[in-house]
Amino acid sequence: MRKVKDIETYKSTKPTVVTIGTFDGVHIGHQKIIKRLINTGKQEGLKSVILTFFPHPRMVLQKDSNIKLINTIKERHDILDDLGLDLLLIKKFTKEFSRLSAEDFVKEILIDKINAKKVIIGYDHRFGRNRNADIDDLKKYGETYGFEVEEISAQDINDVAVSSTKIRAALHDGDIQKANAYLGYNFMLSGTVTKGRGLGKELNFPTANLDIDEDYKILPKQGSYIVCSTIDDVVVYGMMNIGMNPTVNGKAQTVEVHFFEFQKDIYGESIQIDLLQRIRDEQKFESVEALKQQLAKDRATALDFISKHHAH
């Protein structure tokens, strides 16, 4: 899939089947709709397209910068690519764009840009200025501009909403296995590896700090997790701590990973870390020695889990 950053520079020469939405998480509820989109494309000889808005409309219209998303744009793109989608189109969401009338949206975006022949959309989808147009309006435009509208049922829409809510709640509680079950893949954190305060080394647990650029990315509950990552085509396992490092009077939240049996220098590299299981809450220990002992226990817990669930 060729990532098209912005719809402004894009014009589809091929007829398409399109659905519109954030698809944050690309979880099992979404996957059902996306598979339907892709299959329709294959059956009818249409290119499968998802049109998504970024930043999230709520960030722009409600100044709700606290909204946290399950995926970064790149993570979302990679997951959709794996599912077999032809194209993810990103439309920059602005106040100006929000004032576009429903008919202009259909004409300028769906027809002129995307060349839509079929639109698959939720029964409750609203669009256009003040979100005053609905699926019946879309069907009327379809007759005028020559595209078909296929409705996604209330049940499927409900499954999507329920899954998203449950995933966010599970992450908030640190229940990573529940989140992963709803996602249909492992929840991930992506970022650049940076040097930390060097405390891990002193504890015999050297860590890589993960610098996550996107401040809209949701983080799970603070604590320790069993994780894995693919680095230079090799799967490596480890444990990760999200938190404040209270034992050594940490001042800011960090995400630190200690990989097992791993010697490579990966500073400055971008990596993706999959979260597999939570070990424990972050806690403040009496001494650095007590923390060391706990880390050794955590390591044993992690290695035991990996040998049971992920042995190659």
Whether the CB-CB separation of 122 and 92 falls below 8 Å is answered with no
pLDDT band at 65 (very low <50, low <70, confident <90, very high): low
3-state DSSP call for residue 90?
A: strand
pLDDT exceeds cutoff 90 at 61: no
pLDDT band at 205 (very low <50, low <70, confident <90, very high): confident
Q: Which residue has the higher pLDDT, 142 or 251?
A: 142
Please give, one letter per residue, the 3-state secondary structure of 14-34: CCEEEEECCCCCCCHHHHHHH
Q: Is the pTM of this model over 0.75?
A: yes
The 10s digit of each residue's pLDDT in 12-36 is: 889 999 999 989 999 999 999 999 9
The 10s digit of each residue's pLDDT in 85-111 is: 999 999 999 999 999 999 999 999 999
Cα–Cα distances (Å) from 306 to 192, 276, 309, in that order, read: 25, 9, 5
